[in-house]
């Protein structure tokens, strides 16, 4: 299929960007979206033009590196997939496709479609861990009985790959789904209780300091999340935060 | 506790609680208005009680005004903060693919409701304050129903009220159910609570519309 691509090009974080039109030909339906961009970049390099910069790594939906706002939706029109898992058969010959970076003040553009998502790392570093003594006396985690429902909910929260689609989809550029998943995966387990109060306060505080917007419960994040992280996590984080605020 | 005031979650909970308070007030207001459809005497009696009871006038009324002002001011503060969180807008943004129009446009439905409140205060609240606390006019417990009927004589005013109630329904459709999530209520009862909120969001504004139409047609 032949496509018209409208791609955001930006030299660096300080330069103004703009949408630039490109034509790509001979795209197969079985190609992934990133492979389609590879074809475009080969064309650009052959012509001596600057290739389009975009994030990618594992290309199998695990790492959370690939991003891209495609036709107004993070990771494109398909559900429960990352951009690397999005196939070109979802598009039609002659389509025009808008490709933009995930936009948020807390995700500054590095170049073209690549954004700096280290704000997520700082939220995680603020409290997204449990302190476990590993100096030769480690207790097997399976030795602690855990309710099956809690274990399952914790696991589901832990499947968040931190891609940033929740922020990109949210009209307010809120990071509450990401932060709540990272809070929930520990809040549901006995190992997470020791640092529960400090964790939620520190992570929410860091999230606010990074400049993300406020959640208004539109639910866009849950719909666009490639891992199906539930809004229940945000409600749980709200409860954990209020409880911790009263204590702390 | 200090950080609580500044945090995004605290602001969200404050919006939800003030919204729930206003929802409760709305139900009370609707109940009194609805009595006007079948008994002018009951409407007069209830209005007289609300208009003269010191607890309602000097305790609940200031709390209500604070609740309304707080909800609007906080709503606009959050809207500005949220807009600043994405300095460069998307060239292509398909919000309809993942969220409802109501949830994305609360500020606009809120603005219409704010404009309506201006008209509503001009129609009822300001004359009440002038009548009772400026002119010190003698209280007539039977004056409320004729005054209400008079206000809905104009088809334009009745139309404006109906239009406002439509926007109130749109605002409540997202806001009421959303407030449960904001205060951390998301469990096995959430589906039933959301259904109740949706029925309320349609039912109460629709009831106000019926009251407005019936009063207009009574002339």
Average of per-residue pLDDT across A209-213: 97
Average of per-residue pLDDT across A115-126: 98
**Cα A157 to Cα A159: distance, rounded to the nearest angstrom:** 5
Looking at the predicted structure, is the pLDDT value of residue B3 above 60?
Answer: no
Q: Tell me if B158 sits within 8 A of B209, measured CB to CB.
A: no
pLDDT band at B5 (very low <50, low <70, confident <90, very high): low
Q: Does B82 touch chain A (CB under 8 A)?
A: yes
Who among A207, A216, A248 is closest to B106 (CB)?
A216
Looking at the predicted structure, is the pLDDT value of residue B157 above 60?
Answer: yes
pLDDT band at A184 (very low <50, low <70, confident <90, very high): very high
pLDDT band at B6 (very low <50, low <70, confident <90, very high): confident
> Chain B: residue nearest A100 by CA?
B90
Burial A6-40 (b: 16+ CB within 10 A, else e): bbbbbeeeeeebeeeebebeebeeebbbbbbbbbb
pLDDT band at A134 (very low <50, low <70, confident <90, very high): confident
Q: Determine the distance in angstroms separating the CA of A116 from the nearest CA of chain B, rounded to an integer.
A: 14
Q: How many CB atoms lie within 10 A of CB A193?
A: 13
- Domain segments of chain B as ranges: 2-81+103-218
Q: Are B8 and A106 an interchain contact pair (Cβ–Cβ within 8 Å)?
A: no
pLDDT band at B1 (very low <50, low <70, confident <90, very high): very low
Q: Are B85 and A211 an interchain contact pair (Cβ–Cβ within 8 Å)?
A: yes
Residue of B31, B29, B35, B33 whose CA lies nearest to B60? B29
Q: Determine the distance in angstroms separating the CA of A176 from the nearest CA of chain B, rounded to an integer.
A: 9
Q: Does B101 touch chain A (CB under 8 A)?
A: no
pLDDT band at B84 (very low <50, low <70, confident <90, very high): very high
Q: With pLDDT > 90 as the criterion, what percentage of chain A qualifies?
A: 93
Q: Does B91 touch chain A (CB under 8 A)?
A: yes
Which token pair is B162? 């109906």
Who among A100, A208, A237 is closest to B91 (CB)?
A100
All structural domains of chain A: 3-111 (3.10.20.30), 118-247 (1.10.1060.10)
CA-based angle A94:A97:A98, to the nearest 5?
155
> In A, which residues are within 8 Å of B92 by CB distance?
6, 69, 71-72, 98, 100
Per-residue pLDDT, A165: 98
Per-residue pLDDT, A248: 67
- Per residue in B109-151, pLDDT tens? 999 999 999 999 999 999 989 988 898 888 899 999 999 999 9
Residue of A96, A175, A213 for testing the chain B interface, max B β-carbons within 10 Å: A213
Who among A105, A232, A238 is closest to B9 (CB)?
A238
Who among B78, B87, B174 is closest to A214 (CB)?
B78
Looking at the predicted structure, is the pLDDT value of residue B180 above 60?
Answer: yes
Per-residue pLDDT, B137: 87
> Chain A: residue nearest B177 by CA?
A217
Longest dimension (CA), chain A: 63
- Per residue in A36-95, pLDDT tens? 999 999 999 999 999 999 999 999 999 999 999 999 999 999 999 999 999 999 999 999
- Beta A3-9 vs A109-111: how paired, if at all? unpaired
Q: With pLDDT > 70 as the criterion, what percentage of chain A qualifies?
A: 100
């Amino acid at each position: 299929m032949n496509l018209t691509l409208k791609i955001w090009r930006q030299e660096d974080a300080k330069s103004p960007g703009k949408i630039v039109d490109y034509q790509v030909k001979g795209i197969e339906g079985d190609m992934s979206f990133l492979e389609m961009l590879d074809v475009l970049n080969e064309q650009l390099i052959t012509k001596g033009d600057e290739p389009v910069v975009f994030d990618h790594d594992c290309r199998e939906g695990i790492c959370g590196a690939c991003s891209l706002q495609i036709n107004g939706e993070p990771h494109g029109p398909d559900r429960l997939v990352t951009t690397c898992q999005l196939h070109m058969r979802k598009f039609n010959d002659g389509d025009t496709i808008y490709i933009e970076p995930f936009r948020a003040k807390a995700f500054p553009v590095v170049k073209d479609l690549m954004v700096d998502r280290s704000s997520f790392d700082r939220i995680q570093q603020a409290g997204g861990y449990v302190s476990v003594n590993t100096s030769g006396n480690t207790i097997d985690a399976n030795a602690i009985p855990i309710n099956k429902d809690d274990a399952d909910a914790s696991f589901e929260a832990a499947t968040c790959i931190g891609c940033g689609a929740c922020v990109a989809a949210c009209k307010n550029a809120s990071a509450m789904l990401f932060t709540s998943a990272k809070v929930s995966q520990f809040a549901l387990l006995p190992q997470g209780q020791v640092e529960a109060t400090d964790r939620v306060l520190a992570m929410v505080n860091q999230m606010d300091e990074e400049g993300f917007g406020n959640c208004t419960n539109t639910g866009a994040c849950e719909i666009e999340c490639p891992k199906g992280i539930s809004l229940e996590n945000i409600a749980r984080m709200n409860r954990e935060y209020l409880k911790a605020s009263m204590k702390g | 506790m200090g950080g609580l005031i500044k945090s995004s979650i605290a602001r969200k909970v404050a919006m939800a609680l003030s919204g729930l308070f206003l929802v409760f007030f709305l139900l009370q207001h609707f109940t009194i208005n609805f009595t006007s459809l079948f008994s002018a005497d009951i409407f007069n009696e209830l209005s007289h009680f609300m208009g003269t009871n010191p607890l309602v006038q000097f305790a609940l009324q200031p709390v209500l005004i604070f609740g309304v002002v707080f909800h609007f001011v906080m709503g606009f503060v959050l809207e500005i903060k949220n807009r600043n969180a994405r300095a460069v807008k998307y060239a292509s943004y398909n919000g309809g693919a993942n969220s409802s129009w109501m949830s994305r446009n609360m500020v606009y439905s809120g603005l219409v409701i704010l404009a309506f409140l201006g008209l509503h205060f001009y129609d009822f609240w300001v004359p009440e304050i002038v009548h009772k606390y400026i002119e010190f006019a003698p209280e007539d417990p039977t004056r409320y129903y004729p005054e209400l009927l008079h206000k809905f004589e104009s088809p334009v005013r009745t139309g404006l009220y109906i239009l406002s109630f439509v926007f109130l329904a749109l605002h409540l459709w997202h806001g009421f159910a959303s407030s449960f999530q904001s205060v951390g209520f998301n469990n096995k009862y959430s589906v039933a609570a959301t259904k109740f909120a949706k029925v309320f969001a349609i039912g109460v504004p629709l009831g106000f519309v019926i009251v407005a139409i019936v009063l207009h047609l009574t002339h």
